Structures are given as structure tokens and as C-alpha cells.
Structure 1
Amino acid sequence: MNLSGLKFSKMHGLGNDYVVINEFDHEIIPENEKNTFSIEICKRGFSVGADGVIFVCPATDNGDIKFRIFNADGSEAEMCGNGIRCFSKYVYDNDIIKKDKLNVETLGGLKIVEITPDKENKNISSLFKVDMGISTFKTAEIPMIAETEEFLDETLVVDGEEISMTTISVGNPHAVIFTENAEKIDLNNYGPAIENHESFPQRINVHFVEIISKNEIKMITWERGAGFTYACGTGATSCVLSGFKLGILDNNVLVHLPGGDLEIEVYKKDDELGAFMKGEAELVFTGKMI
């Protein structure tokens, strides 16, 4: 694949980093090459290196603009909380759509992003509040192969070991495991074993959560298609929603991730649970392939 002359931006949300490609006006990477392109450009030490690739695309439905994200393994994800903050900052800072509230189309549904930019220096972090939408705990919608309608603090046998977890979708699938000490978890062992478990036909994101109080947690993530990441916005949202559903967390929670902090606020709508996510995003550098 000839990438000579390709312009891109490198961005991150709490250390979860992405290569951002602007395809708002025209397609740059052919559709049938996006998977391979993402694999190649995300290779750390051999290329730009990233957890994934974000494409800025024109809206096709009822949004202002469309968000697409491919993992480092070339698979396309439905949604990414840290990624959508980087996306929104890129769109705002590059005058693609100069609005303080964006309606963003994703494979996980329409997301509303409120932007509080730094007016003095657009290269430093800006604050973003994202309506992550309504979640579902229904196993058929996650999707998860299970005998129960919801998998709430239920036991799953993983490589012969019984692990209690809660599964949820916020547009993409998550397994949430509450533990006494997240730092002692062998993530390189449990992460891929749960991600690729036969119960999850589309694989799953995996999170281990340590509760500090009902308003504060610490979590680590094994991200589907990327492995360990410093932060996961949809994951933080899923962990708080799961804790709220189980009655062990309040509706406003500060989430500590290896890359920094996120604020999650749970809301109810027609007896269903949704959440707002608040956090930052930063431009690292812009580049051009030679």
C-alpha cells in the first residue's frame, strides 16, 4: 500500500491513542483497504503506532458528521468513548464543523458531544461531555450466548476458572468484573481469554474494577482488538452503569484509569439506563507520510 503524501493527526484521550484521517470531503483510504491500512499504521516501532484509526466521514443519516474507528487488529468497532472525544476535537479545531454541540453518527448509534474548547491554544486538551446513549444488559443484544436474559454478577467459566461478571452494551460489548485489587490482575492472561470466550460471538471488551467508594473506582482494561489500553471511555461508562445496576455505585462516579480520569453520570430514561461521559482529548502531532 502506497501511503506517500498521506496527511494525518496523532491524538489521544488519556493515553488511548489514534491516527485520525480526514475523509469528510472525499475518500482517502479505499474501503477494501481500511482494515489492512489500520493494521499497518498502528504497528508500534514500525509505523506511526496507535490503538486504532479514526476516519472523519460525512453524515449518512441524521447526524452532523460520521465517526468510524478501526482497531489495531483491523477490525471495525461500533463506538469508542476516548476516540469520539479525539474525533470531536479534530472536527472542531480544523473547522470541519464549528459547533459546540455535535450530533455524531456511529455504528453504535447517534452520540451527542458537547465541546468546551480551549480558546487560547487548540493544541492542548479540551473538555468534552458525551451522551453515551441508552445501554442494554440483555444478553441477546450484547451479544452473548447465555441461558439468562441478563448476565448480572453471574459466573462464567473461563479456562476452567469461575469468574463473576456483568455484561453490558453501550453500543459495543463489555464484560465488567469487580475485584478487590485491580493492580494484581494478570490482564495479559485473563484479558484475551475472556475477550475470545465462546460466549461472545463478536468478542468483548474486558474490565477489572476496584471500588474505592460508591462515587469513585479504579479500573484496568483489555480492549477488544487492541489489548491493554491506558483508558477506555465506553468501558468506564459500562463499569459505572454496571455498578449502578447492581446497587454498589451511585449515579455520579469518578473513574481512575492508567491514563487519567473520567467522570461518568448515570441517568434514567423510560426505565432504561444511559450515561454522560466527561473527559479530555489532546492533539499530539500532525504528520505526512513520505
Structure 2
Amino acid sequence: MTASPVLLAVVLSLVSAVCYATAAVVQERTAAGTPDLRGALARGSWWWAVLLNATGALLHVVALRYGPLTLVQPLGALTLVVAVPLGSLAARRRTSGTQWRGMALTLAGLTALLTATASGNAPDNTLGTTEVLLVALAAATVIAALIRFAPGGLGFAAASGIASGVGSTLAQKLAVGPALSWSVAAVAVLTVAFAAAGLVLSQKAYRSGLGGPLALLTLVNPVTASVIGITLLGEGFQYGAAGTLLALAGALTAARGVVLLSRPEPPQDHPDHLDGGHDRPRVPRPTRPDTVPGLLPTRLLTGTSRAI
């Protein structure tokens, strides 16, 4: 008895999320010990992280072969769910109550989405050549407008989420579509272009902070892919209106969880001993500007899973 295509897509997405999260942990630890890129390139751990990222990206593309965009893309948020405890364990830090609530809400929301979208059938429809060009043109126009009129962290984050969502949509066409032809080659070029754009824009987004841009990017990505899947590919939800409401409730719950996971935790002061009857002044421990205590450097998390 063989597993259903959607079940296979879920399993592949889970393994992909674990690969991305583990790679981010390794990269964060490497960056903490070797701030400059040249030094990181000389360390074997960094190359292990590259291999894990590549494996995660490949598994994500294969998952798109067996599951709809409305299912596979939201499961990308599991990278954060896995990364939080892994990051805390690697840093020997306690996971906060806020982060536990974020993980619980994200898992609950994704479970609701899974229930509403898991029809058991592999996707059998992809964008036509004309639709690909229209989606690429529309996405490029919106991205350019966001960069021009909202150039701050949130603007770049929204643009990155759109680029990554479109990249995943095009990747699905490559996974499900016909044999090699000039149109498939053009889609491959566009897929790489949007994936690279998503990576570059995410790097720019985090120059102004982490929490807000991370939450927005993580939410815009699956929303973009899902809108394309529903409007152009005929993907929908099971159980009619009830399934649609369940999916919306799940999406909102998962969104709230992502926001909690993306929220920076305040630096924790160590309890100080009394010295001669007087308290020593408490000095907060410095934190790296590109990390969130209890979470991982989001520039690493979004450079892969969100760009495919």
C-alpha cells in the first residue's frame, strides 16, 4: 500500500524544514566564532550548513511535485518551529514562554490548514506560459513599487516574500510540468531570478531589525503562493465553506504564532551577588545585532527556505 501524494509532500516538507533549521544553527554558531566570511569559508562546519541548505531546497521542490502550493508553502513556517528549540539548545539557553506559545499556535494553525487542504491528490495543473509571464510581470511591478515607495525593512520584507512565493510557484511548474523545452528553460531562469531576488531583499530587510520583517516575510511568502494557486491553478479547500473558514482560521492562528516566534526577547540579566551589603550594578549582556535570543539569525533562515 503506497502513501498518498499529499502525505509524501508533508513528510518531505517536514524533513526540509529540519534541514533548513539545522543548517541555520550551524551557520549561526560558525558566524559567532568567525565573524568574517573568509574565515567561515575555511571552516568545515560552514560547508556542512551549505549541504544542509541545498538538501532542504531540493526536498522543498520535490514536495511541490506531490502537494499543492496552498499546503507546501505554509509548511515552510515549520523551519522557525524547529529552529527555536535547536537554537536554544545550541546556545544553552532556555526557550521562553512566548516562544513556546508561538510554536504551539503555529503548529495548531498548520494542522488546521493541513486538514482543509490535504485532498490526497498530487497537483496536476501548472501555470501556462502566458500565465507565467503575467505572474512574473505583476510580481516584478509590485516588488519594484515596494522598493521605490516603501524602502524600509518592512517594504523589503514584503518584496522578498512576494519574490520567494513566486519562485516557489515557478518551481512547482518545473517539478510538475512537461519535458525540457524553451518555455521550461525560461521558467527555470525566472525561478532562479526570483529566488535570488528573495534572498537579496531579505538581507536588506534585516538591516532595520528582525522581528517585524521576519514575521511579514514569513507570512507574505505563503500568501502569495496560495493566491496564485487558488486563482490560477484552481486549488481550493475541502469541505466547502466550512473548509475555507477552517483554512482561514488556521492561517490566522499560524500567523500569530509566527509573529510570536519572530519577537525579540529582552536580554536577560544574570543575578548578581551582594558585595559588602550593596548590589552590584546589573549590566545586560550584549547581543549580536543579527540575532534574536532564543531564535536564529533570520538572514540565514530566509536565505533558503523562503527563496525556493
Whether the TM-score (by the shorter chain) exceeds 0.5 is: no
Q: Would you tell me which structure has more helix in proportion to its own residues?
A: 2
By relative contact order (CA 8 Å, sep 6+), the higher-ranking structure is 2
What is the TM-score with the length of structure 2 in the denominator? Answer: 0.31
